[in-house]
Structure 1
Amino acid sequence: MSEDWRSATVARLRTLITQADPDVVEEVKWRKPTNPDGVPTFSCDGLICTVETYKDKVKSTFAKGASLSDPAGVFNASLDAGTRRAVDIREGEELDEAAFTDLVRQAVALNRS
């Protein structure tokens, strides 16, 4: 397994998130010795989501994901969490980019409401 697919996946998610709304801001938070690069976070009138890289997956966790409509079933992790929902992407998996972008737009709208 190469690290290339993870970097490419993070770059694609970053593009989808930042293109979803022109006001989205990316910051890096939670730097620590075990993760010196920190965690990319995306906000617009509040936290939208984070993007984390693991050995076997890239995870995008939506802060208020449980409040979002997900008819395409993009969320596939943290489904039993009270507030959050996450999308785990493993090597070779395809993301429904239109549905993911819709989730980002919904999250921005929820933050603005």
Structure 2
Amino acid sequence: MNPSQQIDKLIAELCDWRGEMLTEIRQCMLEADQQIVEEWKWKGSPVWSCSGMIAVANAHKEKVKITFSHGASLEDPDKLFNAALDGKVWRAIDFFAGDKINQPALKALILAAIDYNQKNKRG
């Protein structure tokens, strides 16, 4: 299976709100920029990249976590980051049952991550 198919399978196996949340996160990722590539890493984690890694998502029992690989370097005017706030590089957003995604703010954060990747590209 290719990465997109693996993500489809993961979502299908999550027969509750976590599958719906992951679907909406994925939609935001793919709508934010046409150049975003889906990957499957670490034996079961959806990853989105564009000029480098943007974020990884994980469905836990009580939450869906999206972790931005350079989140500590990103502006977050809408205060989406609510986890891993003391990390020097990574920042995360934990979504719980009933949470609503601020799609415009999440897409802006995704675009900021792409911009960061492009400005800090090595090679």
| Superposition TM-score, scaled by structure 1 size | 0.91
Matched, 1:53 2:59: yes
Cα distance in 2 for residues equivalent to 1:47 and 1:30: 13
How many equivalent residue pairs? 106
1:86 corresponds in structure 2 to 92
Please give the residue correspondences for 1:1-113 in structure 2 after superposition, counting only pairs within 5 Å. 3-31=15-43, 38-113=44-119
Distance of 1:77 and 1:22 partners within structure 2:
28
CA distance in 2: counterparts of 1:82 and 1:50, whole angstroms: 17
Structure 1, unmatched stretches of 5+, are: 32-37
What is the rounded CA distance, in whole Å, between the counterparts of 1:108 and 1:78 in structure 2?
20
Secondary structure class of the residue paired with 2:104: helix
Partner of 1:34 in structure 2? none
- Percent identity between the two aligned chains: 40
The Cα shift of 1:102 comes to 0.4
1:84 CA displacement: 0.6
- What one-letter code is carried by the residue in structure 2 that aligns with 1:6? R
In the aligned structure 1, how far is the partner of 2:29 from the partner of 2:117? Answer: 15
5+ long unaligned stretches in structure 2? 1-13
Higher relative helix content: 2
Shift of 1:96: 1.4
Q: Distance in 2 between matches of 1:88 and 1:97?
A: 15
Q: TM-score, normalised by structure 2?
A: 0.83
Deviation at 1:3, TM superposition (A): 4.0
CA RMSD of the aligned region, Å? 1.1
